[in-house]
């Protein structure tokens, strides 16, 4: 948990510990990256208004090196702020003040989304040079492993499972947030944009098509 308010950290930590979570605290953005490498956490709760290095910059740095699930917390509740948070790679976003119980449930929901069963019967989806191994939670393109966030992975796994099928933004949003969290549909466009950028860095083929005013579909056959 990266939060400069020690009382808030202690309260949130207490509720998480009651649910069986092991928690660690960092009170300064500049110390967070070192703590990340040292502690190797399963999830980070990240406040945005931090001393020395703010949460926005910290989220960028983390996403350059890791797909660690991030739950952002802030007093800023404007839609533009939430969209920016998701565009930087946050997996969920909470606006202060909030209930500690809701925070715990949000943590559980994010972890459920990113943890995949280790069943060897989980499918492997292949489309041209693009391969999504659902058992290993691994995506490769032209033999190169892609570092996707949990949300990007879930969207790609859904799209590639049925190439050519149109998914509306609301359908994709339900895939990202099956517990029914309230999130604006623009978040889908943000994740698709990030996913496209990562695919385009390896291959210039148009993998994901936009259906204007409706949603997205995976190309049935990758176009040259």
Q: Going from the N-terminus, what domains does the chain have, and what CATH number goes with each?
A: 6-114 (3.40.50.2300), 124-218 (1.10.10.10)
What local confidence, expressed as pLDDT, does residue 51 receive? 82
What local confidence, expressed as pLDDT, does residue 119 receive? 41
What local confidence, expressed as pLDDT, does residue 118 receive? 44
Q: 128 near 219, Cβ under 8 Å?
A: no
What local confidence, expressed as pLDDT, does residue 50 receive? 85
What local confidence, expressed as pLDDT, does residue 116 receive? 53
Token pair, residue 210, equals 């936009």
Long-range contacts, 21-28 (Cβ 8 Å, 24+): 21/107, 25/1, 26/1, 26/2, 27/2, 27/3, 28/4, 28/52, 28/53
Tally Cβ neighbours within 10 Å of residue 7: 8
pTM of the model: 0.58
pLDDT in tens, 169-218: 888 887 777 666 667 788 889 999 999 999 999 998 899 999 988 899 99
Residue numbers of the chain with a pLDDT score lower than 50: 117-121, 223-224
Q: 116 near 137, Cβ under 8 Å?
A: yes
pLDDT in tens, 93-106: 898 888 999 999 99
């Amino acid at each position: 948990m990266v939060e400069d308010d020690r009382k808030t950290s202690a309260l949130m930590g207490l509720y998480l510990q009651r649910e069986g979570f092991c928690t660690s605290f960092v009170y300064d953005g500049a110390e967070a990256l070192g703590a990340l490498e040292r502690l190797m956490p399963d999830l980070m709760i990240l406040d945005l208004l931090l001393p020395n290095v703010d949460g926005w910059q910290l989220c960028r740095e983390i996403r350059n090196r890791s797909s660690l699930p991030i739950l952002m917390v802030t007093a800023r509740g404007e839609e533009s702020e939430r969209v920016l948070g998701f565009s930087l790679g946050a997996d969920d976003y909470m606006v202060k003040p909030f209930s500690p119980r809701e925070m715990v449930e949000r943590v559980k929901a994010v972890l459920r989304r990113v943890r995949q069963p280790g069943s060897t019967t989980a499918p492997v989806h292949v489309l041209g040079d693009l391969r999504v191994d659902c058992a290993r939670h691994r995506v490769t393109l032209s033999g190169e492993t892609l570092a996707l966030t949990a949300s990007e992975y879930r969207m790609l796994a859904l799209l590639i499972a049925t190439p050519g099928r149109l998914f509306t933004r609301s359908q994709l949003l339900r895939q990202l947030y099956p517990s029914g969290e309230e999130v604006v549909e623009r978040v889908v466009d943000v994740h698709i944009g990030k996913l496209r950028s990562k695919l385009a860095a390896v291959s210039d083929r148009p993998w994901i098509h936009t259906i204007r005013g409706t949603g997205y579909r995976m190309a049935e056959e990758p176009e040259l």
